[in-house]
Amino acid sequence: MSQQHYMTPKGYRVLEKELYWLLHDERPKIVDVVSWAAGNGDRSENGDYIYNKKRLREIDRRVRYLTKKLENTTIVDPARQQNLTRVFFGAKVKYLREDDSEVTVQLVDVDEADYREGKINWLSPVGRALLKAEEGDEVKVLTDQGEEYLEILEITYPLD
């Protein structure tokens, strides 16, 4: 039984696009190079052959990962969650930390997570702590530095 994944529509499209590129652009080029290099004689000392054969294995590994991930993904569109008052996958949450700094994050899949863009894995410690919270709630997060309490200031579900 495979694990179910959740992704935003944008995140799903990014992975689909990468899979298409790997299968239709990158892999065929590498296969051509490997074929050419194999025809050049001794493969044990052929740098082109060795490097590109390794690259081909990396591509195939990524293709398997993306295929499996996309097959077992449920797309959750935050735009369709507009009337929710609790934090669920796709929510954009503004919270107040103990040092009085405000942070805004969106809960997304691990493959979409990018802290510089304010997107965090919904299964991360902060993501898990925020799940099912409502505005005004205070949640406890266990970090490497110990416990921290976060006050939920605002919950929205982005339209993009």
Strands of the sheet containing 102-108, edge to edge, are 119-121, 102-108, 92-96, 146-156, 138-143
- Supply the pTM of this predicted model: 0.82
pLDDT tens, position by position, 129-139: 999 999 999 99
pLDDT tens, position by position, 119-158: 999 999 999 999 999 999 999 999 888 999 999 999 999 8
Phi-psi region of 21 (alpha: psi -120 to 50; beta: other; left: phi over 0): alpha
User: Same domain, yes or no, for 85 and 69?
Assistant: no
User: Same domain, yes or no, for 83 and 149?
Assistant: yes
In terms of residue numbers, what domain contains 10? 5-75
User: Same domain, yes or no, for 89 and 150?
Assistant: yes
CATH number at residue 18: 1.10.287.180
User: Same domain, yes or no, for 42 and 87?
Assistant: no
| Total count of domains within the chain | 2
Q: Which of 149, 154, 139, 156 is nearest to 100 (CA)?
A: 149
Residue 1 — very low, low, confident or very high, per pLDDT cuts 50/70/90?
A: very low
